[in-house]
Chains A and B, each alone.
Chain A
Amino acid sequence: DGGITQSPKYLFRKEGQNVTLSCEQNLNHDAMYWYRQDPGQGLRLIYYSQIVNDFQKGDIAEGYSVSREKKESFPLTVTSAQKNPTAFYLCASSWDRGDTEAFFGQGTRLTVV
């Protein structure tokens, strides 16, 4: 089945630790995105990538890092520099055109204690 997969669904980490969220897609999409969702805040863009080995900061990139070594993979690392990391993280992908829909993964709920 084609789709976009995020793992794990739930993740717990201690404060001060870096954590990497996985996002894999087999839709052959060029563009991939990471969003953070908090109650009442909608979806805020963290990073996006249009092509392998290239990515751009979104609106809230501080405290996060990404890589795009393969077309199908776009992992997100939440670093210890992120002040409020507890949130629901959504990965998405689309064709690299300005007029196509985005497909979302199921999301990862990260809790930092």
Chain B
Amino acid sequence: GQQVMQIPQYQHVQEGEDFTTYCNSSTTLSNIQWYKQRPGGHPVFLIQLVKSGEVKKQKRLTFQFGEAKKNSSLHITATQTTDVGTYFCAENSGGSNYKLTFGKGTLLTVNP
């Protein structure tokens, strides 16, 4: 089954408010990837985190990887209507048995 749990499942915000989604695992992750899927579209890669405590930024998006490499978060500052979509975290097992497993995702809706 899925190794990564993602919360919340849904989040509705007013435009300009911040948004955060969390990804948690009971086991240590080799790395974590984040994807965005627009309504009616397909998932698109956003970023990958590999190092313990890593923080990466993409404009208004901030991605963090926990010190224990068991959790990760995606934070969007001052949401815009273009941020609407489902955000997924994904973990791959790496090694010789490569397998990419996704969380259930967080659906973000933004009220203009």
Contacts and interface: CB of A to CB of B under 8 A. Distances in A.
Nearest to A59: B1
Interface of A: 31, 33, 35, 40-45, 48, 50, 56, 58-59, 90, 92, 94, 96-99, 101-107
A48 B104 CA distance: 19
B20 interface: no
Given A42-B104, A101-B33, A31 B1 contact: no
| Chain B interface bracket (under 10, 10 to 19, 20 to 34, 35 or more) | 20 to 34
Given A102-B45, A104-B43, A40 B101 contact: no
Contacts of A40: 9, 104
Contact of B100 (A41, A48, A106): A48
Contacts of B95: 98
Interface in B40-67: 41-45, 48, 50
Q: Classify the interface of chain B: helix, strand, loop or mixed.
A: loop
Interface of B: 1-2, 6, 9, 30-31, 33, 35, 41-45, 48, 50, 88, 90, 92-95, 97-105
Contact of B30 (A33, A43, A98, A104): A98
A94 B44 CA distance: 13
A101 B48 contact: yes
A56 B33 contact: no
